[in-house]
Amino acid sequence: MSQKSQPCELIEKCNFFNSLQVDAVRRGWELWFCKNPAKFEQCERKKLRINGKTPANDMTPTGRFLHEYPDYE
């Protein structure tokens, strides 16, 4: 039986998910970055928090902002 990996330790404090209006989009980001240990350290939001800075609520884990995605409203 495979062991389920733990999500990123910052997921509960991440305000990015509060700014998302579509649950499917939220789940996609969570699965790709927050629940994927191979991606934890690539999260730009996490990098800022580790350095004592607070990322903007609409900054994605890739470092881009939601308004930069033309299909997101």
Using a cut of 0.85, tell me whether the model's pTM lies above it. no
Distance CA 49, CA 51 (A): 5
Q: How far is the CA of 14 from the CAs of 8, 22, 27, 57, 71, in angstroms?
A: 10, 16, 14, 8, 23
pLDDT(38) > 80: yes
Over its C-alpha atoms, the chain yields an Rg (Å, rounded) of 12
**In the chain, alpha helices (H):** 23-29, 44-50
Quick: pLDDT tens for 45-70.
Answer: 999 999 999 999 989 999 999 888 77
17 or 30, higher pLDDT: 30
How much is the average pLDDT of 4-22?
81
pLDDT at res. 2: 45
pLDDT at res. 73: 57
